[in-house]
Amino acid sequence: MGLISLIWGIAMLLWMLLALVPLLGIMNWLVIPFAAVGAVIAAIGIALSREGHRGRAKAGLLLNVAVMVVAAIRLSLGGGLL
């Protein structure tokens, strides 16, 4: 689960970087829910893994949350999130 969430987070990061381009900011409306799914997968991975094997799941959780925050800030700057 940790590896899946990390790969999902990297994919969302690339998608969010593409959405930073002017006129493509509407894609942030899709980035936020997909990153939330990645965060849920990471949380499940943290809950199901042993103590010493949670690194990838934690990294995936942090990456997905960071993507959601940046996408929400981008939406609020563009007037898309009120």
- pTM as predicted: 0.88
Domain count, the chain: 1
Predicted pLDDT at 34: 96
Per-residue pLDDT of the chain (82 residues; tens, 9 = 90+): 889 999 999 999 999 999 888 888 888 899 999 999 999 999 999 999 898 889 999 999 999 999 999 999 988 887 766 5
Domain of residue 53, residue span: 2-78
Rounded Cα distance, 27 and 46, in Å: 29
Predicted pLDDT at 35: 96
Predicted pLDDT at 80: 66
The answer to whether 63 and 13 are in contact (CB under 8 A) is yes
44: tokens are 């499940």
Phi-psi region of 64 (alpha: psi -120 to 50; beta: other; left: phi over 0): alpha
Predicted pLDDT at 81: 62
CA dihedral 25, 42, 9, 81 (to 10 degrees): 10
